[in-house]
Every structure is written in structure tokens, then in C-alpha cells.
């Protein structure tokens, strides 16, 4: 009964459209992430689900209850705020017990539930500490405990790890995952860190400019981005101009501007004919000199190595195609120095049709306004 449904939800502040006609169904028990750059409307979306902001139009339902206009304190939803928002005049126990006291839970139940929760977030013995006597990571866990102790149907988390250093963040990501599977509550998780979203989520909604660009499991979104924005926001992508030549069964042929024709699964095409952008991830590319005996994949273009950057685990080659396009290739470091390519080397870049995706030839991701709907 704790699925979350948004239908045509829009939020405008004066002339700013923060959230633009989004629809979404988050299923019970799901770990769902809202991923997008700063200012794309993630917090606003979350605040509308939490009840801190009323939608300008549209409908929000929790389970089968329409909560569009229900105030926050009447919703079965709790929030872990971006800045934690712990009460500085209360100690850890009092912070965690705050919600239960307002709900008039019996005193002895409060005590045991607070203790259990502090154990769950690994903070036993910290109950009498004041908030300013805790480290950032501990505060984060108090905020989590304070929300979870109320056993909400849905937990909203607004960049809960944003203030932590990298190491602690990795550790807390695992912690959060563990806690979520232990309590089985629906998590809606806001982040602008794509790696975080990918490692933690069951599904991700990629947001840009108040709209959803794409919703799907991390693997699907990464391997088959549907828009140029998703392709470049989630990991790195090489994009090449092309023209659709035709579709045969489940295979489509696209003629690239560099001159070669490549193929890809037909269902990846955003349209049946005309101009598209063809994409392939840097780690999916094979690089070889034209005369080498290395295997070559069916899709290929010729290029010249421009810059090579050694990063330890891999080497990144920036190559330039005949029509002046840049293509980045990651080559895993397999300990073969003779395989290194010097700048200026003529190379052939090839990849599998299944590793090819296509997006609408549209606006560049760094363009601010607009964005293509999901």
C-alpha cells in the first residue's frame, strides 16, 4: 500500500517552472533514485511528495490515498533532509523520539523503538550526546534514525550523503542499502552523483530541467540511453552524426557522417528514418592499428590518435575521425606496453552492434532550456 504515484505534476515558482508535468510510479519496497544536475527539480519533486510544497497542478497518491493537498504532518512519509535538520536543542534520543512523541506512542514503546533504531544505525551509547557533539556521518545516521523510527511507508532522502567525504560516503551507501533491505521501506533517493544512483538503486529517473529524461533500471539506462542528455550525464559517451538507411528485421543500418555504415538493434532507434546521433561508450570500443591482426568488431570507423592519457587502471585515447569528431576510447591496462598507441597513429575503432545506441539529434546537453521529455 506504499507505492507512490505522480500524475502530471507541475510546480511553478513565480516564473520558474521547477517541475514540468512529470508522471511516475514508484513501487512498494523499491529503491528509487532521482538523478540530475543541480537545479533540475529533484528537491522540489521530493518536497511535493513529502508535503512541504503543494503542486501547482497534478495529483500525488500514496497507496490508494490522494495526498495532493494533505499537509506533511498527516502523511505516512518521512524525510531525511539535505542538511539533516536535526534539532540542536535536543539530544540524540530526543531527536529520534520526536516523531513518536507527537504521534502519542506509549512511553515504553518509544524507549524501545528508539533504542532499536539507534542499534540499527550503529549509534548505541550515543543517546545522550548533543547534536553538535557528533561527526557528520553520525549526524547523518541520527537523521536516518529519526525518520525511520516512525515506520513510514515511504522514506524520502535528499542527497543524504552529500556532505560526507568520499570514503564515508561509500561506506554509508552500503549502510543505507543494508538498512533499506532490512526494513523493506520504499526509498526515494535524490542525488546528483550518477555512480551513487547506479550502485544503490533498483530504478533511476534521470531528470533535467524539471522533466524526466528516462526512467529505468541502472543497467538499462546506462546501456540504452534514450536521450543525448542521459547518454552524457550518466557516464561518458561518444556521439556521431548519422542518417538512418533502413531497418531489416530487428537490425537497423545507419550511415555515419564519416562514411561508414554501422548496424544496431532496431528497437534502440528513436525514429524510423532521418538523422540520428549514434552513441557508443568509451569502454566498449576496440582500438587497433589497420595492419594488426587483432579482432575487429562489425561496427568500425577510422581515426587518428590525438592524445593518450595513462590513468593506471586504463589508458584513455582521444581520437579524431575523418570529419573532425572526437572519440574517446578506454583501454584496460593489461600490462602490455607494446600495445600503447602514440599520438598520430592511424587507428581503426570498432564495436559491437549491441553496444550501439541512438538518440534524437537534438539539443546539446549543456543547453539550458528545454530538454526532451521521456
Partner 1 sequence: MERPLQRSDPGLIEPRDKPGEDDRGRKGFVPFFLTFPGSLWLIIFFLIPMATMMSLSLQEGTIETGYRLTGHWQTYVEALGKYDTQLIRSLIYGLVVTVATLAISYPMAYWIALYGGRRKNLFLLLILLPFFTPFIIRTLSWKFILADNGIVLGNLKEWGLLTEGYQVLATQSAVLAGLIYNFLPFMALPLYVALERLDPSMLDAAKDLYSNKRQTFLRVTLPLSLPGVFAGSLLTFIPSVGDFLNSELLGSVNTTMIGQVIQREFLVNSDYPEGAALSFLLMFGVLALVFLYTRAIGNTEELTGG
Ligand X SMILES: Nc1ncnc2c1ncn2[C@@H]1O[C@H](COP(=O)(O)OP(=O)(O)OP(=O)(O)O)[C@@H](O)[C@H]1O
Binding string, 33-52, against partner 1, x = CB under 8 A?
Answer: -----------------xxx
Under the criterion CB under 8 A, does residue 274 sit at the interface with partner 1?
no
In whole angstroms, give the CA distance from residue 41 to residue 46: 9
Return the residue of 4, 6, 9, 18 that touches ligand X, per CB under 6 A.
18
Under the criterion CB under 6 A, does residue 56 sit at the interface with ligand X?
no
Give helix 107-120 / helix 166-183 axis angle, nearest 10°: 130
Return the residue of 8, 13, 88, 248 that touches ligand X, per CB under 6 A.
13
Report the residue number, 77 or 276, with the smaller CB distance to partner 1.
77
Report the residue number, 43 or 140, with the smaller CB distance to Mg ion.
43
Give Cβ neighbours of residue 183 (< 8 Å, ≥ 6 apart): 120, 148, 151
In whole angstroms, give the CA distance from residue 127 to residue 221: 42
How many residues line the site for partner 1 (CB under 8 A)?
A: 31
- What is the footprint of Mg ion within residues 154-213 (CB under 5 A)? none
Under the criterion CB under 6 A, does residue 38 sit at the interface with ligand X?
yes
Rounded (10°) CA dihedral 9, 12, 13, 16 = 130
Binding string, 168-207, against ligand X, x = CB under 6 A?
Answer: ------------------------x---------------
State CA 227 to chain mean position distance: 14
Under the criterion CB under 6 A, does residue 16 sit at the interface with ligand X?
yes
Q: What share of the chain is helix, strand, coil (3-state, %, to 5)?
A: 25, 35, 35
Under the criterion CB under 5 A, does residue 43 sit at the interface with Mg ion?
yes
Show the cell assigned to 111.
524507549
Residue 276 has φ and ψ, to the nearest 5°, of -140, 170
Under the criterion CB under 6 A, does residue 44 sit at the interface with ligand X?
yes
Report the residue number, 38 or 311, with the smaller CB distance to ligand X.
38
In whole angstroms, give the CA distance from residue 189 to residue 201: 8
Under the criterion CB under 6 A, does residue 33 sit at the interface with ligand X?
no
Show the cell assigned to 254.
545507419
In whole angstroms, give the CA distance from residue 250 to residue 264: 9
Q: Considering the complex, what minimum distance in angstroms separates the CB of residue 40 from partner 1?
A: 20
How far separated are the first and last CA of the chain, in Å rounded? 27
In whole angstroms, give the CA distance from residue 368 to residue 226: 18
- What is the footprint of partner 1 within residues 101-120 (CB under 8 A)? 102-103
In whole angstroms, give the CA distance from residue 187 to residue 108: 28
Rg (Cα) of the chain, in Å, rounded?
25
Show the cell assigned to 106.
506509549
Q: Considering the complex, what minimum distance in angstroms separates the CB of residue 44 from ligand X?
A: 3
Under the criterion CB under 8 A, does residue 88 sit at the interface with partner 1?
yes
Under the criterion CB under 6 A, does residue 40 sit at the interface with ligand X?
yes
> Which of ligand X, Mg ion, partner 1, none does 41 bind, CB closer than 5 to 8 A by kind?
ligand X
The helix (run of H) or strand (run of E) holding residue 317 is: strand 314-321
Query: Which residue stretch of 38-46, 90-98, 129-137, 340-348 sits at the interface with ligand X (rule: CB under 6 A)?
Result: 38-46
Chain residues in the site for ligand X (CB under 6 A):
13, 16, 18, 36, 38-44, 192
Chain residues in the site for Mg ion (CB under 5 A):
43
Chain residues in the site for partner 1 (CB under 8 A):
50-52, 71-74, 77-79, 81-83, 85-91, 94, 98-99, 102-103, 132-133, 135, 146-147, 150
Amino acid at each position: 500500500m506504499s507505492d507512490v504515484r505522480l500524475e502530471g505534476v507541475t510546480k511553478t515558482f513565480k516564473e520558474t517552472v521547477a517541475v514540468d508535468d512529470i508522471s511516475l510510479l514508484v513501487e512498494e519496497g523499491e529503491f528509487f533514485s532521482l538523478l540530475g544536475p543541480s537545479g533540475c527539480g529533484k528537491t522540489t519533486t521530493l518536497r511535493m511528495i513529502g508535503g512541504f510544497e503543494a503542486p501547482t497542478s497534478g495529483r500525488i497518491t500514496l497507496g490508494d490515498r490522494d495526498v495532493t493537498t494533505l499537509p506533511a504532518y498527516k502523511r505516512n512519509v518521512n524525510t531525511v533532509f539535505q542538511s539533516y535538520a536535526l534539532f540542536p536543542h535536543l539530544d540524540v534520543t530526543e531527536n529520534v523520539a520526536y516523531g513518536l512523541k507527537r504521534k502519542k506512542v506509549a512511553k515504553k514503546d518509544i524507549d524501545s523503538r528508539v533504542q532499536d533504531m539507534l542499534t540499527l544505525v550503529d549509534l548505541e551509547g550515543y543517546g545522550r550526546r548533543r547534536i553538535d557533539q557528533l561527526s557528520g556521518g553520525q549526524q547523518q545516521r541520527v537523521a536516518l534514525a529519526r525518520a525511520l523510527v516512525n515506520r513510514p511507508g515511504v522514506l524520502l532522502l535528499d542527497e543524504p550523503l552529500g556532505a560526507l567525504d568520499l570514503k564515508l560516503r561509500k561506506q554509508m551507501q552500503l549502510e543505507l542499502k543494508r538498512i533499506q533491505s532490512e526494513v523493506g521501506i520504499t526509498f526515494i533517493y535524490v542525488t546528483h552523483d550518477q555512480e551513487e544512483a547506479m550502485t544503490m538503486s533498483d530504478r533511476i529517473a534521470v531528470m533535467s530541467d524539471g522533466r524526466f529524461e528516462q526512467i529505468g533500471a541502472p543497467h538499462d539506462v546506462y546501456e540504452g540511453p534514450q536521450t543525448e542528455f542521459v547518454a552524457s550525464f550518466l557516464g561518458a559517451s561518444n556521439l556521431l552524426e548519422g542518417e538512418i538507411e533502413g531497418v531489416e528485421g530487428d537490425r537497423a543500418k545507419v550511415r555515419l557522417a564519416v562514411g561508414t555504415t554501422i548496424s544496431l538493434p532496431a528497437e534502440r532507434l528513436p525514429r524510423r528514418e532521418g538523422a540520428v546521433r549514434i552513441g557508443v561508450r568509451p569502454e566498449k570500443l576496440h582500438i587497433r592499428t589497420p595492419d594488426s591482426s587483432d579482432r575487429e568488431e562489425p561496427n568500425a570507423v577510422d581515426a587518428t590518435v590525438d592524445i593518450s592519457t595513462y590513468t593506471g587502471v586504463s589508458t584513455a585515447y582521444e581520437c579524431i575521425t575523418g570529419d573532425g569528431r572526437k572519440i574517446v576510447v578506454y583501454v584496460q591496462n593489461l600490462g602490455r606496453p607494446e600495445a600503447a598507441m602514440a599520438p598520430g597513429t592511424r587507428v581503426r575503432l570498432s564495436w559491437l552492434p549491441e553496444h550501439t545506441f541512438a538518440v534524437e539529434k537534438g539539443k546539446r546537453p549543456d543547453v539550458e532550456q528545454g530538454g526532451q521529455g521521456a
